[in-house]
Structure 1
Amino acid sequence: MKFFRCVLYRTMAPKSTKAGKKELTTETPKISQAIKIDKNGDISIKVLAKPGSKENGITGITEEGVEIKIAAPPIDGEANTELISYLSKLFNVRKSDLSLDRGSRSRTKTVTMSKDSGLTIDKINDLIKLNV
């Protein structure tokens, strides 16, 4: 099964130059930087965790990753467990389909979703955008 990476471009308002000519600028969506397919075919999601919040939720999307607030303290891996639990409910997949690949002691984390979960990058993007 082959995976194709889809890059979307959003056209911005015309930008004027010194000569008075207008040119169109494009920028890649920030979410495409945060979610990628790794070399094994699994989906890799960069997460900027904010532990100790009142409730779980996605607060925003930046070039560095998806900002997620977590309703657990960053003690003894409780926030990591809560993050995996929240993402499994958000994406409607089993907890065993998700794993924390990097950043167990950092706020910048990489969560890997198994290619057997049945989700695509486009579906994950849609679910994240709906919950921002």
Structure 2
Amino acid sequence: MKKLPVNKDAYSESSKKSVGFEFLDDYYEDKKYRCKKCYKQDVFTAEEQKNTFEVKKAYMWQQRFLCNVCYQEMVKIKKEMSEIEAGYIKDKETVICDKELLKRWLFLLKEYPKYWQRENAAQIAFVLKAINNA
């Protein structure tokens, strides 16, 4: 098991103010966990932890709950949803009239919560209504 030293000075300000900050270990160690989507065993490596907390400045109590494969799938879904939403904001009429695009959007909206993300019930209802009216 690999160990890397913790640089507490590199943590985010919110982490530094957090209860328990002063009790952080001196080293990162690989942490095993099970993916909440596919249930595959995975490892949050010491290197990934150091990068997450010291470089990306993620909050210190953030934990991994998706394996890398499921995480990448979730990121792709989120990106595609954002692109469709941006297209809708830019040209509502075109998106509202494109039944196949609306069906894809609905699929993505329903798939996203399977990755332990919050469901957007209002947006799902909106897209369903648009499909029925298209």
TM tier, smaller? under 0.3
Between Structure 1 and Structure 2, the one with more helix by share is 2
Larger radius of gyration: 2
TM-score, scaled to structure 2: 0.22
